[in-house]
A and B are shown apart, each in its own frame.
Chain A
Amino acid sequence: MARLTIDDLKKIKEKQKAAFTLRQGGQRAKVTVHMGTCGIAAGARDVMTTVMDEIANANVEDVIVTTSGCAGLCSREPMITVEIVNEPPIKYCDLNATKVKEIFKEHIMGGKPVEKYALVLGSETTY
């Protein structure tokens, strides 16, 4: 990255904001794996690998995987947030590989949220 000016900051902000909203990023779904210490200790790495494997197996290119910090509710880790374009994000909790596979099939591919593993609808955006 080159040295930034204040204008560059604004440009990056606009560009990246667009990428945040999926439809302009050209992606259909985004999976955020929460990788804080707690999450990793509870098995977030396994969850991450499973998601990657599933994407590879399904041979899809419009699903992106990203990591983020802890979602704050350590007792329910590992957690992921699934965001399908034009839908509010859903947080899943207490995950393992089997559950992730199911979520991938039902929600990410099928568009139907897996109620039984879901914790909450929406994402923290409070300022």
Chain B
Amino acid sequence: MAENIKILVVDDEPIVIRSAKRILGAEGYDVEGASGGREAIIMMEKKNYDLVLTDLKMPEVDGITLMRWIRKSRPETGIVVITGYPSQETIKEALELGIIDYVPKPFTPAVLLDVTHRALEWMKGKIPEEEIPKEEFPPSMISELDRVIKEYKNKPGSTIPVLQRAQEIVGYLPPIIQKRIARGLNVSTADVHSIVSFYSFFSMKPRGEHIVKVCLGTACYVKGIEAVVTKLKAELKIEMGGITDDKRFSMESVRCLGACGLAPVMVIDQDTHGTLEPKKVAQILDEYRPVSKETT
């Protein structure tokens, strides 16, 4: 999809152009660079670009001047600002000139790609509905998610509550769900991702039918949870945070389940199993395996 899309990167720092070329080039975009506003204008007079990524502070012809020229002479070209000095003034002026987005410097490849991709989609006049696989996320689930997003939209500080509700609805927060939330709340995917990856409550991996939560609180440690964990890993053949091949179990660690009186403790789904010993582990897990259901 990136084919035939021409992007011009304008920056007086050659390294920015180099890295943009490398990052966006790898995705198949046709990327060229200009070291300043004057050079950019000369290039744009010769050739049409779909998108211009430009720095603001540049010697001679600066970003704002360049953008004014683009608005007047090449109104169909999209503009994204890259800057390390986002002062209120310049951003306001840039916004008035109709920029699509801005990338703060320094940027990571993911952010640059994300912003570029969104800018191009925006220019197409719509943000595409990424195909959400129906078998994994049934439409009823998605409409519930959308309802929550709508409920919180435009409220300050709503990202975390929405993500919590989303995880309750979907079970986990894969990138596709994060993107939907970001779009719905009108924040960047990067912002959403930065929150999901920061708080331990959020999970980006699917979870098993039964969730084994092992308490790694101090009391449980003193009372020997480590041996239980070793046994669990061996029984389930997964690491902490993993999910079994049959998707029956996933194992997570929590800092304290608040049942220190029963240490060491694990919780499977809603059931607390206390005063654990490694030798009890297999038997407890069996209770959650279908074999035992048939026999009972």
Footprint of B on A, CB under 8 Å?
37-38, 40-42, 73-77
By a CB distance below 8 angstroms, the chain B residues around A37 are 257-259
Closest residue to B259 on the A side, CB-wise? Answer: A41
Flag if B258 contacts A77 (CB, 8 Å).
Answer: no
| B262 in the interface (beta carbon within 8 A) | yes
> Would you give 18 A-B contacts (Cβ < 8 Å), ordered by A?
A37-B257, A37-B259, A38-B258, A38-B260, A38-B261, A38-B262, A41-B258, A41-B272, A41-B274, A42-B272, A42-B274, A73-B261, A74-B259, A74-B260, A74-B261, A75-B261, A76-B261, A77-B261
How far apart are the CA atoms of A40 and B261 in the complex, in Å? 12
Q: Number of residue pairs across A and B with beta carbons under 8 Å?
A: 31
How far apart are the CA atoms of A73 and B260 in the complex, in Å? 11
By a CB distance below 8 angstroms, the chain A residues around B260 are 38, 74
By a CB distance below 8 angstroms, the chain B residues around A77 are 261-262
Footprint of A on B, CB under 8 Å?
257-262, 265, 267, 272, 274
By a CB distance below 8 angstroms, the chain A residues around B272 are 40-42
Shortest CB distance B110–A (Å): 39
Shortest CB distance A74–B (Å): 3
By a CB distance below 8 angstroms, the chain B residues around A42 are 259, 261-262, 272, 274
Closest residue to A42 on the B side, CB-wise? Answer: B262
Shortest CB distance B267–A (Å): 8
By a CB distance below 8 angstroms, the chain B residues around A73 are 261
By a CB distance below 8 angstroms, the chain A residues around B265 are 41
By a CB distance below 8 angstroms, the chain A residues around B259 are 37-38, 41-42, 74
Closest residue to B261 on the A side, CB-wise? Answer: A74
Max chain B Cβ within 10 angstroms of own Cβ: one of A42, A73, A76: A42
By a CB distance below 8 angstroms, the chain A residues around B257 are 37, 41
How far apart are the CA atoms of A75 and B274 in the complex, in Å? 11
How far apart are the CA atoms of A37 and B265 in the complex, in Å? 13
How far apart are the CA atoms of A75 and B267 in the complex, in Å? 17
Max chain A Cβ within 10 angstroms of own Cβ: one of B257, B259, B272, B274: B259
How far apart are the CA atoms of A38 and B265 in the complex, in Å? 11
Closest residue to A45 on the B side, CB-wise? Answer: B270
Shortest CB distance B261–A (Å): 3
Closest residue to B219 on the A side, CB-wise? Answer: A74
Closest residue to B257 on the A side, CB-wise? Answer: A41
By a CB distance below 8 angstroms, the chain A residues around B262 are 38, 41-42, 74, 77
